[in-house]
């Protein structure tokens, strides 16, 4: 669950970061950036499907992933952040935001609280991931997962290469600080 949440969060952050591209560009550039983002999301979704199929097909890999997630969760809690309580808080905040019962100022305050909660969790997770043993376990899990995904679906390598290419295209489409509106 933590792995999937992390993947989804990374995709959301990437989408938000790349959507900033569109606001600072001409119509044609905007359209191209949107197309690149759409292609990237499609490939990421396919890669996520391969990952899920791989985990289902490899019980030993699923166990390795679960052990790693438990290890990280324990280390995060050692950093003073309760994962369960944090998940409860963010779930409650999401429900309040989706209820439609909040004023604009209440929504803004809740969004700030949500962001602060996510930052606190990310800070504790980052500290936990500094542990050399956890880093090594993560590298082994990633290596084993990639090998299994490549065995599960021959498209894996090409999807990864395509995503890297799209990331580079999106980065090059972003205006540099000197070219950004208001700086030139």
Q: CA-to-CA distance for 182 and 184, rounded, in angstroms?
A: 6
Encode pLDDT of 9-65 as tens digits.
455 455 544 544 444 456 677 888 889 899 999 999 999 999 999 999 999 999 999
* Least confident range of 39-43, 44-48, 111-115, 178-182: 178-182
Task: Give the pLDDT confidence score for residue 100 in this predicted structure.
Answer: 83
Q: CA 37, 166, 174 angle in degrees (round to 5)?
A: 70
Alpha carbons 30 and 51: distance in angstroms, whole number: 31
The token pair at 17 is 């970061």
Please check whether residue 117 is in contact with residue 103, taking contact to mean a CB–CB distance below 8 angstroms: no
Tens digits of residue pLDDT in 138-176: 999 999 999 999 999 999 999 999 999 999 988 887 665
Q: What is the pLDDT of residues 61-73, one digit of tens each?
A: 999 999 999 999 9
134 in Cβ contact with 128 (< 8 Å): yes
């Amino acid at each position: 669950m933590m792995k999937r949440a992390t993947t989804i969060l990374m995709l959301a952050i990437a989408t938000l970061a790349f959507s900033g591209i569109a606001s600072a560009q001409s119509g044609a550039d905007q359209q191209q950036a949107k197309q690149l983002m759409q292609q990237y999301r499609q490939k990421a979704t396919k890669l996520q499907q391969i990952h899920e199929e791989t985990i289902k097909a490899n019980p030993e890999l699923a166990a390795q992933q679960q052990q790693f997630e438990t290890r990280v969760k324990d280390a995060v809690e050692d950093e003073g952040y309760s994962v369960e309580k944090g998940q409860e808080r963010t779930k409650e905040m999401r429900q309040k935001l989706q209820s439609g019962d909040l004023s604009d100022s209440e929504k803004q305050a809740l969004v700030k609280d949500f962001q602060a909660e996510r930052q606190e969790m990310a800070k504790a997770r980052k500290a936990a991931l500094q542990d050399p043993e956890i880093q090594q376990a993560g590298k082994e899990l990633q290596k084993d997962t990639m090998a299994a995904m490549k065995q599960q679906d021959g498209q894996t390598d090409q999807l990864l290469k395509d995503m890297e290419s799209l990331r580079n295209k999106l980065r090059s489409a972003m205006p540099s600080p000197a070219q950004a509106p208001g700086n030139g």
